[in-house]
Structure 1
């Protein structure tokens, strides 16, 4: 039963991230012109509509579909390791859900549009992101935290008691 909840948690997380990401990008494409800036507040510095046909930091412009294939391979690898039982625990499953949802969100844009819609700017000097990018970062942190906790638990079990 516990394993079933971890599987459900993984898929619900991934699907929610994908839905939030795609809905927010649709809103930006519908209501903002490319290059338009909307000041927001403290956490998010501003919304700025940008279409990126490359990868992070606008590197390798024009290769969006190639990066879509890389995202698909990444998603398939996570699904494979989940199936093998290599991804254990709640934190690692939620982290993997964030990773899959984020990768899928940007993959959909790359395959269907040839660009990724970015709009979240967190500082004046920083790059422009989207919810999929944020989810990928959160996913990495959760995955590392889960792996670290699993490692600590395994060390505690292996210690001899005197």
Structure 2
């Protein structure tokens, strides 16, 4: 259940934020946020992360759909169990669907969050995907630590 709750919350929040940006900001407009740590910059990305593969946005909608299908298949087989993997996969799927909708409908993704001086522009879906990967990494590290403890106790 946690998987579905997180997926839906991420998807709704992402699409609502993108709608607000598209309807209340001009393309290229910058709005100061919290000092040097965060500001808003409306950008339409027709590629992938870091602006790679510009003009290929619609193809990556299919990649998002395949990713979501794979996660759902693994969930059905019982391979993604436990709160950490439920949350991780929920964040990733919610983000993938959010960006996939943009790519399918508009051929590009609405980005608007700039952290620090890096210049990289993200959206809530991107943040959710990154959080999902981070939680997945935490799961793997915890599993490795548990496995090492078990092996040590057997000796």
The TM-score normalised by the length of structure 2 is 0.93
Task: Establish whether residue 123 from structure 1 lines up as the match of residue 113 from structure 2.
Answer: no
Given the superposition, is the C-alpha separation of residues 44 and 29 from structure 1 closer, same or farther in structure 2, using an over 3 Å criterion?
Answer: farther
Question: Which residue of 46, 71, 83 maps to 1:53?
Answer: 46
Task: Establish whether residue 15 from structure 1 lines up as the match of residue 26 from structure 2.
Answer: no
Unaligned regions of 5+ residues in structure 1, if any? 1-7
The count of residues paired between Structure 1 and Structure 2 equals 155
Are the counterparts in 2 of residues 89 and 146 from structure 1 also a CA contact under 8 Å? no
Are the counterparts in 1 of residues 36 and 117 from structure 2 also a CA contact under 8 Å? no
**2:44 partner SS:** strand
Deviates more, 1:131-140 or 1:80-89: 80-89
Determine the structure 1 residue equivalent to 2:75: 82
The TM-score normalised by the length of structure 1 is 0.89
Moved over 6 A (4+): none
Query: What's the offset of the Cα at 1:152?
Result: 2.8
Determine the structure 2 residue equivalent to 1:29: 22
Query: What's the offset of the Cα at 1:19?
Result: 0.5
State the superposition RMSD in angstroms.
Answer: 1.6
